[in-house]
């Protein structure tokens, strides 16, 4: 791994690395916050997945999470949102497909299938790398925002007993039924819509074997709420399948990092309680 930067904050260290990834067959960048407790013992990890157009740096610069993480003794890992350095057809033409829009799935349509395997990267490759190189224990949780909230939910639902807890801010809960999801699923997975369901949290609920609570915060002033995020679809699926969910509709909040920064401490407390 190549260390790109190292910054001390709240007694811990925010470090940014580049490494060669076998999942995406190219270089990937991630950030990791190591709390001061990691100097002397292994600490639990929260994986944070960011949204459309983002990199690892959106969370590290805007969420305001590190003071609470340092107090708790919680490491936070922030991967990038898609492969970089490729030049596939239509990859850089729009904000909601291709670069910056990996959607945390494994593509099956060429040429995207060669590199767009963010699910494998987040679930398998990156945790193995973190475990090998940093003082962390085997307890991990996952969270994210928007596209990253979708990613957090599907990673938890598809991997029972892997994560101690899961939460999301304004997640895309039913991508098979919204414009963002239909666009990327067609491009990455093809026209067969039945193959899309394995990457949709609302569809996965009926197959969930672990009753891990879904903790979701959603702003009611979010411009994407009704057409793209559709939290009511997830709630309905959870109710139908007796799956625990705690959806909090936050009055006046939008889709921005101001919303995330307002409630991130509560999410960190929630995850740390589970990770203990």
Q: Catalytic site residues?
A: 146, 222, 255
Coil vs helix vs strand at 183: helix
Strand order in the sheet with 26-34: 2-9, 12-21, 26-34, 75-79, 43-49, 136-144, 166-169, 214-219, 245-250
* Dist. CA 255–CA 199, nearest whole Å: 22
First-last CA distance in the chain: 29
Coil vs helix vs strand at 230: coil
Burial class (CB in 10 A: 0-12, 13-18, 19+), 274: middle
Q: Say if CB 43 and CB 92 are below 8 A apart.
A: no
* Dist. CA 126–CA 221, nearest whole Å: 34
* Dist. CA 100–CA 49, nearest whole Å: 12
Q: Say if CB 128 and CB 104 are below 8 A apart.
A: no
SS (H, E, C) 115-142: CCEHHHHHHHHHHHHHHHHCCEEEEEEE
Cα angle value 105/108/111 (rounded, 5°): 110
Q: Say if CB 58 and CB 84 are below 8 A apart.
A: no
* Dist. CA 147–CA 171, nearest whole Å: 6
Backbone CA torsion sign across 119, 156, 67, 41? negative
């Amino acid at each position: 791994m190549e260390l790109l930067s190292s910054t001390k904050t709240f007694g811990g260290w925010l470090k940014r690395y580049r490494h060669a990834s076998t999942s995406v067959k190219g270089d990937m960048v991630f950030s990791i916050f190591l709390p001061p407790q990691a100097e002397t013992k292994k600490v639990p990890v929260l994986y944070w997945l960011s949204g459309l157009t983002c990199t690892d740096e959106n969370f590290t610069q805007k969420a305001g999470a590190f003071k609470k993480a340092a107090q708790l003794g919680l490491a936070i890992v922030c991967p990038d949102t898609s492969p970089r350095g490729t030049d596939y057809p239509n990859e850089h033409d729009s904000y909601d497909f291709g670069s910056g829009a990996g959607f945390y799935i494994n593509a099956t349509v060429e040429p995207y299938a060669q590199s767009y395997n963010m699910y494998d990267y987040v679930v398998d490759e990156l945790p193995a790398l973190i475990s090998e190189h940093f003082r962390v224990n085997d307890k991990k949780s996952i969270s994210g925002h928007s596209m990253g909230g979708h990613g957090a939910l599907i990673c938890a639902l598809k991997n029972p007993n892997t994560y101690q807890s899961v939460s999301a801010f304004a997640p895309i809960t039913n991508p098979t039924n919204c414009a963002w999801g239909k666009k990327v699923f067609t491009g990455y997975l093809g026209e067969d819509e039945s193959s899309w369901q394995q990457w949709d949290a609302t569809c996965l609920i009926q197959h969930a074997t672990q009753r891990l609570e879904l903790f979701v915060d959603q702003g009611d002033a979010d411009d994407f709420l009704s057409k793209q995020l559709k939290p009511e679809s997830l709630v309905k699926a959870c109710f139908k399948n007796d799956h625990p969910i705690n959806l909090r509709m936050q009055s006046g909040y939008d889709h921005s990092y101001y919303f995330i920064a307002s409630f991130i401490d509560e999410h960190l407390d929630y995850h740390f309680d589970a990770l203990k």
